[in-house]
A and B are shown apart, each in its own frame.
Chain A
Amino acid sequence: MSPMKFRFTFWKAIFAVIMVAGAYATYVRFRYGLGASTHLSDQFPWGIWIGFDVMCGVMLAAGGFTLTAAVEIFNIKRWHSIMRPTILTAFMGYLLVCAALMYDLGLPWNIWHPIIMRNPHSVMFEVAYCVMLYTTVLALEFSPIVFERLGWTWALKAVRSVMLVFVILGVILSTLHQSSLGTLYMIMPNKLHPFWYSPLLPVFFYISSIAVGLAMIIFESSMSSKYFGRELELPILRDLGRVLIVVLTIYGILKFEDFYHRGVLHDIYVSSYEQRFFLLEIFLSVLVPLALLSFRKVRDSAQGLYLAAVICLLGFVTNRLNVTITGVENAVGGRYSPKWTEVVITAMFVALGFAIFGLAARYLPIFPEEKAHAHTLPKLEGVRAEIPVPVHAGD
């Protein structure tokens, strides 16, 4: 028991340091502006607050729509027990993205402007609306957990009666804005390096968000079992690992075809700044996870799945940073690396993510302890085990 306790206080100390540094960085940001708190410039209007906090934040929260689609729409019942922690991760992720956006926007108090000042030709406008609406949908999907804790059965009933509509809406909204984060860059055919600029950019962003959603569920479940003493849902994670193989393979093949048809396949062999970052990305996101998961031993073991998932996550984080930063560096003529204040703020949001998850797991009924209660369709139970479920239908 005591080493467990020590570890906890150690992380608490780290958390406190990050929070104090974050508070100071917050002061610098809002008192003196973006110039004093970032390495952003007229050449680099977007840095890691967009590249990581927003682009990766939204991507890492994609488990929410991936799993709701699989469980509620494709009716894969045996994945139901991991729904709540996944929705918590997604809801928290989107709230943190919105908070992080307040740091990056030059005039954050005008963040509500897109609600009434509409420019439907702007991808950013579409993303703003989708993220706004989807965060609301996630709040509704998350609300039964709170209602259950409070014992408000009437509210629980009311929310569940309209849940299907919101589930479908959530999947549509996610599909739109996950892909639109890629579409943002479609307007820069002469700025973004051909390794990343492609007419399929929205498709790549969408497929990779599904892969990341799956990897994130594996990561989050592994962490929960490690730090909250949760029993690992290994059979579910094995399923997810197998779906991940399919999604990554589709992504990899599409990436190859895209490079082939645009005639940039050859550039992969030519040494360049972009080439090194691209190789790093493609190895981490697709090749290494696929190689690992191709071994039965790996995809059947908790550690193996965890390792493959973490590498895959790092790979797609690299991808998003490559699109936002590496890919435009040569066109604007310069290099960008974040200032310490930028790193601290980003670290603060990551730390907040872990902390909020921990608190929610302690005080809310996130992990169903008893038998899994299917909260959408409680009428079918137990007997269904022998019914074949289309596992791969989810991708």
Chain B
Amino acid sequence: MPFGILYDATMCIGCKQCEQGCATENGLPYDQTVAEQNVTSAYKYTTVLTKDDKFMRKLCMNCEDPACASVCPVGALKKTSLGPVTYDKHKCMGCRYCMAACPFSVPKYQWDKAVPGVRKCIMCAPRVARGKPTACAEVCPTGATKFGDREELLKEARKRIQDNPGTYLPHIYGETEVGGTSVFLLSSVDFLQFGYREDLTQRALPMYTYQVLSRIPDFVPLFGVMLGGVYWITHRREEVAEAEAQEKHTDTKGGAQ
């Protein structure tokens, strides 16, 4: 059963408990300086953005069909059946294609290390596997961040919008973006002002490359035979021309015809 996270910005009070809970769970330092950083990094996997009296969380969307996992040449990033998109640092070779490919620019790099790795929110995969909610959802005092069954959360998000059309924008961010994600966002104000693009494709991104890659097995034998055929023709032509020249030579010599 795939799980998910529903973040309802209208219920958020900007207390940043989720940031602290996330840092503790992942063994990252958390103090006043870290709390003031409003961008995620290899050392801060989630952040609460503030704009006037509105809030919005940034975290990995844990896409249903993630671009990062599809582009990883060694399969270090994986979409698990429970929902989280996980990372195996022992497989990674550091090409950083995941960072380039992510439509939300979520994966971050340990630029300051001589032996670096990719870092991002992995939806608390070890906790989820033990049947526990994510750290951010567990510590949230208002229930703005809610962990649960993905389909149930989607239903609840729809119901909240339906019941309070004046409060919410009629948009569950993550329902259709890049083919759907495991994290849903609800807001009363434009998502774009928090950096969430509204013009993202609704197709799963891996399909864009798969439609090209999947042709390769068909292409190779055809192209190979074609090249072999061209070789045959061009060289055969030469043989024929040579034989004809030879014939002509003997003809003129023998004086026949």
Residues of A within 8 A of B (CB): 30-36, 40-43, 45-46, 69, 72-75, 104-108, 110-111, 113-114, 117-126, 128, 164, 168-169, 171-172, 175-176, 183-184, 186-191, 202, 328, 332, 377, 380, 383-384, 387, 390, 393
The CA-CA distance from A68 to B108 in the complex, in Å, is 43
Question: Are B242 and A107 within 8 A (Cβ)?
Answer: no
Among A36, A169, A384, the residue within 8 A (CB) of B238 is A384
Q: Which residue of B lies closest to A126 (CB)?
A: B213
Chain A's closest residue to B96 (CB) is A45
Residues of A within 8 A of B231 (CB): 72-73, 75, 164, 168
| Complex Cα gap A128–B72 (Å) | 12
Residue of B nearest to A376 (CB): B235
Q: How far is the CB of B181 from chain A (nearest CB, A)?
A: 14
B209 touches A123 (CB 8 A): yes
Query: Cβ of A390 and Cβ of B71 under 8 Å apart?
Result: no
Choose from A42, A114, A125, A383 the contact partner of B245 (Cβ within 8 Å): A383
Shortest distance between the CB of B98 and any CB in chain A (Å):
8
* Given A42-B99, A43-B105, CB of A121 within 8 Å of CB of B199: no
Q: Name B94's contact: one of A107, A119, A191 (CB within 8 Å).
A: A107
Check if A387 sits within 8 Å of B209, measured CB to CB.
no
Of B201, B237, B241, B245, which one neighbours A190 at CB under 8 angstroms?
B201
On chain A, the residues within 8 Å of B113 by CB distance are: 33, 35
CA distance A34 to B99 in the complex (A): 15
Which residues of chain A are near B209, meaning CB under 8 Å? 121, 123, 183-184, 186-187
Tell me if B212 is interfacial: C-beta within 8 Å of chain A. Answer: yes
Q: Can you pick out 17 interface pairs between chain A and chain B where the beta carbons lie within 8 Å of each other? A: A34-B111, A42-B42, A75-B234, A75-B235, A110-B91, A114-B73, A114-B93, A119-B70, A119-B75, A122-B70, A124-B97, A176-B220, A187-B101, A187-B205, A190-B197, A191-B103, A387-B237
Query: Is B111 a contact partner of A187 (Cβ separation < 8 A)?
Result: no
Closest residue to B221 on the A side, CB-wise?
Answer: A172
Q: A34-B116, A183-B213, A188-B100 are in contact. Are A73 and B230 (CB under 8 A)?
A: yes
B residues with CB within 8 A of A: 39, 41-42, 67, 70-76, 91-97, 99-101, 103, 105, 108-117, 197, 199-201, 205-206, 208-210, 212-213, 216, 219-220, 223-224, 227-228, 230-231, 234-235, 237-238, 241-242, 245
In the bound assembly, the distance between CA atoms of A33 and B117 in angstroms comes to 11
Which of A74, A122, A190, A390 lies in contact with B97, CB distance below 8 A? Answer: A122
State whether B199 touches A190 (Cβ < 8 A).
yes
A186 to B210, CA, bound (A): 9
Closest A residue to B40 by beta carbon equals A42
Contact A121 B117 (CB under 8 A): no
User: A114-B74, A117-B75 given as contacts; is B235 within 8 A of A108 (CB)?
Assistant: no
Q: Which residues of A contact B94 (CB under 8 A)?
A: 105-108, 110
CB atoms of A33 and B114 under 8 A apart: yes
Query: CA separation between A384 and B201, bound complex, in Å?
Result: 58
Report the minimum CB–CB distance from B118 to chain A (whole Å).
Answer: 8
Partner of B201, one of A105, A169, A176, A189: A189
**5 interchain residue pairs of minimum CB distance:** A106-B94, A35-B111, A75-B234, A110-B93, A45-B99
Q: Please give, as numbers and ranges, the residues of chain A lying within 8 Å of B76 by CB-CB distance.
A: 117
Q: Is the CB of B109 within 8 A of A42?
A: yes
CB of A380 within 8 A of CB of B238, answer yes
Neighbouring A residues of B114 by C-beta, 8 Å: 30-33
Taking a contact as CB atoms under 8 Å apart, the answer to whether A124 and B73 are in contact is yes
B198 → chain A closest CB, angstroms: 11
Q: CB-CB < 8 A to A113: which residues of B?
A: 73-74, 91, 93
